[in-house]
Amino acid sequence: MCVVYARSLTRLGLVAGYALDAAFGDPRRGHPVAVFGRAAGALERRMWAGSRPRGAAYAAICTGAAAGLGALVHVATRRRPVARFAATALATWTVLGGRGLAREGATMAHLLDANDLPAARSRLSHLCGRDATGLDSKELARAATESIAENTSDAVVAPLYWGAVAGLPGLLGYRALNTLDAMVGHRSPRYERFGWASARADDVANLVPARLGALAAVACAPLVGGSPARAWRVWRRDGRRHPSPNAGQVEAAFAGALDVRLGGVNSYGGRAEDRGTLGDGPAPGTADLHRSVRLSKTVGLAALAAAVAR
């Protein structure tokens, strides 16, 4: 299979997988990412130690296994174009989370519209790990908007980027690494050392996609009633205020595009973390949360167009 033809199949597979995610979202049962998570969790119980080298070996084994599976399928389908297309489409569908993210954002917005704060606090755990106890409507809207911005990059832009760059190994390897970051990459007494390699590797993998996602949010700002100039200014000024080298980029761009103020002090498992102040506008309300969902969808489409055009 010639290189140009193979790239065309990858592009078509990315488009088909994106369409599958947009139409059907995540499967209700037996999601491959959940299967990977259970396997990674079982391996962690065997390998865990308060050691960076042990954590690095764990990350390499898990990510290498996923990327290796993608490489095996890539080789197995090199003379079978229909199989290559189907495998890329299914892998893309598996690793994307755009529909699920939009659904959770819309659900949260509807709960806040109905002023059902207990249900909204409970639902926030579907979007992020922030402690929702006692959060009011404005804080819940802010938390959800921030999560939608960050996860638009992690669950849509980055998988498409790595799929365009490295095909099947890129799709599966990136999703494995991002899942490990969610499992062991957070700072806690148990994972501070063991999860260090997973967290840092995920940071590296998202350096380019996060900035592409921020750029897409700037370009798409008019579609949600925003200003590209303001979005650009806020992104370039505030993106580095966030403790994450990547989340702050896309959150700042979303804040500028929506003309709201994101960031502040958040609580995670009893631990307070200052996320910096992003943007100049007021705190987001439920209408802004609805707009953030629309912005997430348009950024996803822009990322798909960029992946296909590569």
pLDDT on residue 30? 74
Interval 204-259: pLDDT, tens: 999 999 999 999 999 999 999 999 999 999 999 999 998 899 999 999 999 999 99
Interval 104-138: pLDDT, tens: 999 999 999 999 999 999 999 989 878 888 889 99
CB neighbours of residue 262 within 10 Å: 29
Report the distance separating Cα 301 and Cα 284, nearest Å. Answer: 24
Domain count, the chain: 1
Report the distance separating Cα 19 and Cα 34, nearest Å. Answer: 21
* Domain of 262, in residue numbers: 3-309
Q: Which string of b and e fits 27-63 if b means at least 16 CB within 10 Å?
A: eeeeebbeebbeebeeebeeebeeeeeebbebbeebb
**The two structure tokens encoding residue 173:** 């390897």
Interval 267-296: pLDDT, tens: 665 566 777 799 999 999 999 999 999 999
**Rounded to two decimals, what is the model's pTM?**
0.94
Closest to 58 (Cα-Cα) out of 68, 45, 71, 67? 45
